[in-house]
Structure formats: C-alpha cells, structure tokens
Amino acid sequence: METLLSYIPLDIALIVDNFDRFMYGVWVTLNLTFLALLLGGLLAIPMAIARASKHPVFNPLIQIYTYVFRGTPLLVQTYLIYYGVGQFDVIRNSWLWDPVLSSAWWCALIAFTLNTAAYTTELLRGAIADTPTGEVEAAIATGHSYRSRMRRIILPSAFRRAIPAYSNEVIFMLHGSVIASTITLQDILGVGRWLNGRYYLAYEGFITAAVLYFLIVLCITWAFRWFERRYLRHLIRRSEGETPDITPAPVA
Amino acid sequence: MIRRTVLTTALTAALAAIAIPAAAQDALRIGVEGAYPPFSSTSSDGTLVGFDIDIAKALCAEMQRECELVQQEWDGMIPALKAQKFDAIVASMSITEERKRQIDFSDKYYQTPARVVAPKGADFEGTPEGLAGKRIGVQRGATHQCYAEKMFPDAEIVLYGSQDEVFRDLALGRVDAQLSDSLIAKEGFLDTDAGADYEFLGGDHLDIECYGEGVGIAVRKGEEELRDALSAAILAIREDGTYAEINDKYFEFDIYGGRPAAE
C-alpha cells in the first residue's frame, strides 16, 4: 500500500491532515446551496403562478426580474451584492448592514436565492402552462374553483413534471455555489484554495474539492431518480400493445 | 524594392512570433500581478505600472533579453509558473521554505517587514492575545497567510484573492484588522482617502519560517542558468544606480533592506 501510494503524485497525507477543513467546507457548501434552493423555491411558486396566469401587474414585473437574473452571471450578481452595496453610506449606516450585508454568508445566500428563484420561476411557469388541457377540463367539470383547481390539480401535476428539469437546477446551483469562495467563504472550493495558498500545491486542494463535488452530485442524482420513480410513475410510457406486468417468467 | 523589404521584415517578425518557445533568445515571459500597488498595479489605460514592473524591465535590459509581461492572479502564480505559462515571477514574492519546495528563487531584490493595520483608536492590541476572536483579513497564498495562521491562532483569518480586496473590506468594517507588507499598507491604503481612519497596530513582524529571506524572483526548479542570470542582474542594477532610480520613484528610503540573502 505504502509503495502504491508513493506512485500517486499527490500529497495524500496533507489531504488527510486537513480533512476536517474539507468537511467543514462541505457543510458550508451544502447549507448555502440547499437553503438558497429552499428559499428560492418558496419565492418561485407564487411568481410562477402569477406568470402562468398572466397577472396584469405582477407578470411583467416578474418577467423583468427573471430576465435580469437569468441574463447576468451569478458571479456578477454576488459581487454587486458583496462589494457594490457596501459603497453606499446609506446602506452601511442602516440596520441592513450590520447583521446582514456586512456578512459574506448573507450576501452569498441572497445572491444565490434570487438567482435560483428566477430560474425556478421560469421552470415552474413552463410546467404549469404545459398542464394537459384534459386535466384542467376535468377539474372544471367536477366543479373545482380556480383556487382549488390550482392547489389540487394543476400544481401537483406541474411539480411532478418539473422534477427532471429541476434536478439540473439543483446541480447548477451546487456548482454555482463555488462563487462563495470568491467572497471569503470557506466552502469546498474555498478550502481547496486555502490549501493551495498555504502549501502551494494546486492539485491536492482542487482534486479533493472536485471529488467532493462529484460525490454530492452523485447523491443528488440518486435522490432525483428515486423521486422520479415515485412521483412520475404515471407518466412512464409503455410501448404500444404491451400489457403491464404479465410478461411470463423465463422458463428455467 | 521598399515594398519587398517591408514584406520581408513583416514575415520575419511573424515567423519570430510563432517560433518554438524553447529557442534560447526568445522573449522571456515574466509573470506579474497587477493588483498590488505600489509594486504592481494596472493603470486606468490598462498598462502595468509599479516597482516590480520597473524592476522586471530593468533586469531584462541588464540581461539584454526581450521580455513579455504576463498578468496572473496571485493565487495561481506558482501553478502557472510550473505549467510554463511564463518563465519567471516578479511579483513581490517572498523567498520561503514552503515555496522553495515547489520552485526556485533568485537572490532577494527587496525586503520589508509586515505590519498589522486596524482602525484608529482600536480597543485591542496587535498581539496574539489582543487579536484573539478578531477577524484578520489576509491575502490568500501570501506569506501573511502562513504567518497569521501561525502567530494568531485564535483569530479568524479571512482570505482574499487580492490585497486590494483586503483593504476594501477593512474600510467597510468586514474585518477588524489586516496583516500585510508594511509598505503596501502605507502606500496602498493608509496614504489614500480610504485609509484615512486607519493606522498601524503594533510593530514589525519578521519571521524566517513564513517570511523567509526577503523578496526574490521565482523560476522553475532546474532553471539554474536563468536564476543565476537574474541574481547577477539584480546585483548589477544595484551597482549601476538603476535600482536606486526606480526605488526613488516609489519610496522615500531604500527598500533593499540589509545584507543580501544568506546562502
């Protein structure tokens, strides 16, 4: 084992010694990413409904918002919030500065939340608009009001159909969260950069970071596969003429 | 006839530009930072200026070699050198043991101490005890990262991509203090409007383990010829007055420091 390790051109001991730091980095990455996804998702639901129902006031406003946040890079948005906002004395002297905007963590959370909310809004809007007419007509025919139609038929159906596309958004957000390391946060990449800064070894820090991100994406993919199997079962297409579950067992 | 000469010249120049980089008298590519005033910064029209830049040019003139400056962000400097993106680093890089494991250095070309900067009238001292629990801004990958982590273990060390960002966040109050080269802190921050309400906290910090023997020019391991040529050129510009001329453009005293680096 010892001799095998000596062939790997990496300082494994250094990675092992700093494993705690990397685990802390994993925690920072996960909590930022998933908190942003949660808050962004909650913001996105009403905005998607307003967009899909073409609300006369909110629809154009939300459309401008999603244009801006989907049209600019997350890095720029984060810099604007972290470095840009601090330039204004008004903000620095307000209550917003001390607990919130002076902290890198809050700035990252705000930027990430607004960004993912914009993408999720458009994704959900599409899913809502794509609801099969039959489902809506059936709901109307059975006497559902607009509200109850939305709540009991359209949204559950749209959420399910949005799952595959949303898994991409989750992975993009995870990868986008590396931007936290540019505003001093010690997320996974932040720890990788710390290691490079301290020992001048680029591979050790960045390969460890890459492996950690990869493992997280693997978990996310598995989780979504499970969700899809569970919640999209009714949409799995069977081939023409096939009758379900009566294929004869192979003869031994 | 003139046309032909022009054409030939242009062709020769074009061929020279695409020639194989290994050729001996090709332009020496020098990695510089450009975000570390007054040593290295980018002026408003995009040109690189500063002490490091002038020294690099003077050394090239002394060695009679053509040079090309390549701008590189600080924490990618050593990887870029090793990946042959350039052949030498003139970016105020201190000669330390940790770095010597990765790369090689010329003799020093200057040496200045590090100091802590904090708001005027801060209610804490620049000692390990005084800075316990405080947020200290430091440039990632700089010798100050090593020193701050060693000297102030109870402080929260906040890492930035460039020294400019450290000063910006100190001025915004996102960090309580910062540790950097004393000259950088004075010229790049304390003497500017943004640094008017800040001052040095405590005295000079010198530490052979983290700060090493001064600032040198980094080359890849195994490039002894280039390293020795650079060391010789540093001595030469020290002697012929070029160094003093550049020094006086930026500083009020000779920043070369004491005796040359011990072997």
Backbone torsion region of residue B10, taken as left when φ is above 0, otherwise alpha when ψ lies between -120 and 50, otherwise beta: alpha
CB nearest to A193's CB, from B140, B146, B172? B140
Check CB contact of B223 with chain A, cutoff 8 Å.
no
Nearest chain A alpha carbon to B99: A200
Are residues B141 and A200, on separate chains, in Cβ contact within 8 Å? Answer: yes
Query: Nearest CB to B160: which of A86, A184, A201?
Result: A184
For B30-71, write each residue's pLDDT tens digit. 999 998 888 999 988 989 999 999 999 999 999 999 999 999
Alpha carbon of A114: minimum distance to chain B alpha carbons (Å): 23
| First-to-last C-alpha distance (Å) of chain A | 45
Give the bridge partners for B80, in sequence order: none
Compare CB distances from B172 to A86, A193, A198 and report the shortest one's residue. A86
Q: Are B171 and A102 spatial neighbours (Cβ–Cβ below 8 Å)? A: no
Cβ of B140 within 8 Å of Cβ of A201? The answer is no
Minimum Cα–Cα distance from B157: chain A residue: A184
Asked if the Cβ–Cβ distance from B140 to A194 is below 8 Å, we say yes
- pLDDT of A244 reads 52
Asked if residue B179 has pLDDT above 60, the reply is yes
Encode pLDDT of A21-38 as tens digits.
999 999 999 999 999 999
Contact (CB<8Å) B168/A200: no
Spell out the alpha helix ranges (H) of chain B. 2-18, 51-63, 77-82, 97-100, 143-151, 163-171, 182-185, 208-211, 224-239, 242-250
Q: How far apart are the C-alpha atoms of B211 and B151, rounded to whole Å?
A: 12
Q: Sorting pLDDT into bands at 50, 70 and 90, what band is B260? A: very low
- Residue B1, classified by CB atoms within 10 Å of its CB into exposed (0-12), middle (13-18) or buried (19+), is exposed
Chain A partners of B159 at a C-beta cutoff of 8 Å?
A: 184, 186, 190, 193-194, 197
Q: DSSP 3-state helix, strand, coil percentages of chain A (rounded to 5)?
A: 80, 0, 20
Radius of gyration of chain A, Cα coordinates, nearest whole angstrom:
23
B163 and chain A: CB distance < 8 Å anywhere?
no
Per-residue pLDDT tens digits for A175-184: 999 999 999 9
The CA distance from B200 to B205, in Å, is: 12
Residues 54-113 of B with CB under 8 A from A: 75-76, 78-79, 98-99, 101-103
* Residue B157 pLDDT: 95
pLDDT higher than 70, residue B106: yes
Query: Using 50, 70 and 90 to split pLDDT, how confident is the model at A90?
Result: confident
Residue B199: predicted pLDDT: 94
Question: In whole angstroms, what is the distance from residue A105 CA to residue A89 CA?
Answer: 21
**pLDDT-based confidence at A75, cuts 50/70/90?**
very high
pLDDT at position B23: 43
B145 to A190: CB separation less than 8 angstroms, yes or no: no
pLDDT in tens, A114-152: 999 999 999 999 999 999 999 999 999 999 999 999 999
- For residue B200, pLDDT over 90 is answered with yes
Q: How confident is the model over B123-146, as pLDDT tens digits? A: 999 999 999 999 999 999 889 999
Burial of A251 (0-12, 13-18, 19+ CB in 10 A): exposed
Per the model's pLDDT, the better-predicted residue between B254 and A44 turns out to be A44
Question: What confidence tens digit (pLDDT) does each residue in A95-104 have?
Answer: 888 788 888 9
Q: Which residues of A touch B102 (CB under 8 A)?
A: 200-201
pLDDT attached to residue B259: 47
